[in-house]
Structure 1
């Protein structure tokens, strides 16, 4: 059963809550542990507890009395520990000989432990899961930084995540997904992503997702007005983070730029242009698709100019350079000042992935700090 949380109206309330109260809001990716391994861990823990009790009884064996009156041996200590930990206790029939007690230790008690594991193991797992999740959330909140926050895990959000993970250095632990759809968050958790349940228009939800320490924020909700509110909130919390927004209508691009978006992608306009081009030049669309697919073929990429390339013309390089970024502004090839490469320039180029072992850095979406 998933617990519903009342996030309240106080903008400071959610991010100030301790980790155990964020269980159900923050979803940590599941750890892949097989049933055999889980049971093995419980058995080893039970044996460790047994040995501790045996040691404690043996050290203070002078304080124990046996009904036989022959003192307490090491075997007696094991016997006492096993019948005590298994909640068996003493009854009318008690093992009196060493062989009977050895049987109790070697055979009967392990069977009791197996019975207890099968009977209450699942219940204990449920009871302790919340504590483990709270501990993982606290540790994650202390350490998360320079990560990617994806708002909206629909088609566009999932595609952005897949593109990031396809890069050489893309790792699931670097991504946090924010959404109000529990089903979408379950899919994200299954892929190893940390999730936050809540509306990203709330500053406190974005704080829980670590937006103030994020390197980039991808805003991909289903509505343009929601995208504007999320962008405004994210820019207020993270003045230096790159904010990339997906829109449906071109008329909202200017508003998003004023709200603090670094880059805006209009899905409807882009799809419409590609459909129009496909009617007269279908292979152009195939090439664009190839450039946008990072796994094989050609790919668009971004990298800094190397010291050996400074002072040279972009046309002299082996890479096909389409544009360069200088002083934070993109300059197309052929514009004034693009004839010679300068220190600090970044190249936007076409990279051939055929024969490469891996992929390069994700330039436009998640650039590395230099």
Structure 2
């Protein structure tokens, strides 16, 4: 445990190249065959460039057969020269031709060899490229969502956000499980490897600039510590926490959570309802699935609706959010809509 803490200490202050492997930015994957063909075409281009240089200065080269150099001869010389074979049957004899070999052909030969060992070069440059991407991402990330834990709860929460048209690049996953992080990276999500109980790990995930934080850990005590740390870093982000036991709700709220979901009790209620009225559970599942059927959504009240009752709208309104407080339809304080209100209503998915 002490070793893990030492490794994450000062994480947010490390140079960007030291964060490669800890913070991963998703990128568009290209086929290895496409990369191979690009290198082959680039190598052929280098050959033609070298051949053209030799052909332009062909008067400065000597052919052992005594024949004048044609373009095929120039291409042949470029091939054996760039591949460092060097048979010697064609050689530069004038000072100008030798100068061209020093200034142009030799750099092309080096570049050609680099292309041939491009796999090694790719490994060497990948780290620098990732470091640059990390630097650019850390300077630009704002108003994103940090999800702590990529287990069943975390993945389901992310699926719901993606169903509500949240972009994958706006979601950052923090976890200690490398396998889970690989799955998140394959889904196009930014990932941070480390324990979110550490403030440096949360800073690396950009919690201080986040719009919301979803805590979906497997233990309630971990959830409390993660929430405390997140609230210390940000006063404005909305923190949503999932816990197992209802008795820990007050601890999580005191730690700074805005919303608390008790997963075990919620599942238990659904199980109890399903024994008597399974269609109710089916409808609730429908409402919680944004991709199809019905879904619960939120929208601003329109100017034409101000002063009217939410019960008389064409939408099926469930509640009204006024000054951040939710009131259910039918309560007298929200029977007349005001400017700035938000409506929780049922909409058909896809609209």
TM-score by length of 2: 0.84
Counterpart for residue 28 of structure 1: 25
- Deviation of 1:239 after TM superposition, in Å, equals 1.3
Query: Deviation digits for residues 36-89 of structure 1, max 9, x if unmatched?
Result: 211122123324444565676678x4995435588887666544443333232x
Contact 2:39–2:115 under 8 Å retained in 1: no
Structure 2 match to 1:293: 289
Q: Does 1:311 align with 2:307?
A: yes
2:123 to 122, 126, 133: 126
After superposition, the Cα gap between the structure-2 partners of 1:63 and 1:269, relative to the gap in structure 1 and judged at 3 Å, is farther
Question: Gapped runs of 5+ residues in structure 1?
Answer: 97-115, 360-370
Mean alpha-carbon deviation: is it higher for 153-162 or for 77-86?
A: 77-86
- C-alpha distance after superposition, 1:95-126 (max 9, x if no partner): 69xxxxxxxxxxxxxxxxxxx89984544443
Q: Which has the higher helix share?
A: 2
Q: 1:339 to 1:118 in 2, by over 3 A?
A: same
Give the structure 2 partner of residue 94 of structure 1: 89
1:297-336 Cα shifts (integer Å, max 9, x gaps): 1111111111111111101111111111101111112223
**How does 1:120-199 map onto structure 2 within 5 Å?**
120-167=117-164, 169-199=165-195
- The 8 Å contact of residues 244 and 262 in structure 1, kept in 2 or not, is answered as yes
Measured in 1, the distance between the counterparts of 2:189 and 2:201 equals: 17
Q: Distance in 1 between matches of 2:227 and 2:49?
A: 57
Task: Out of 68-77 and 292-301, give the one that drifted further.
Answer: 68-77
CA contact (8 A) 1:211 1:217 kept: yes
Match of 1:235 in 2: 231
How many residues align structurally? 329
Is the alpha carbon distance of 1:220 and 1:78 closer, same or farther for their aligned partners in structure 2, counting shifts above 3 Å? same
User: Separation in 1 of the partners of 2:45 and 2:202?
Assistant: 43
> What value does the CA root-mean-square deviation take over the aligned residues?
3.0
Residue 342 (1) aligns with residue 338 (2) = yes
Cα pair distance change 1:132/1:308, threshold 3 Å: same
2:227 paired with 1:250: no
1:8 aligned residue (6, 12, 26)? 6
* TM-score of the superposed pair, with normalisation by structure 1: 0.80
| C-alpha displacement of 1:141 | 1.9
Query: 1: distance between equivalents of 2:302 and 2:308?
Result: 11
Question: Aligned partners of 1:76, 1:139: CA distance in 2, in Å?
Answer: 48
CA distance in structure 2 between the partners assigned to 1:277 and 1:132 by the alignment: 54
Q: Indicate whether 1:302 and 2:273 are aligned.
A: no
Deviation at 1:18, TM superposition (A): 2.3
Q: Which runs of 5+ in 2 are unaligned?
A: 92-112
Change (3 A) 1:223 1:350: same
Q: Distance in 2 between matches of 1:85 and 1:145?
A: 49
- Distance, in Å, in 1 between the alignment partners of 2:78 and 2:5 is 48
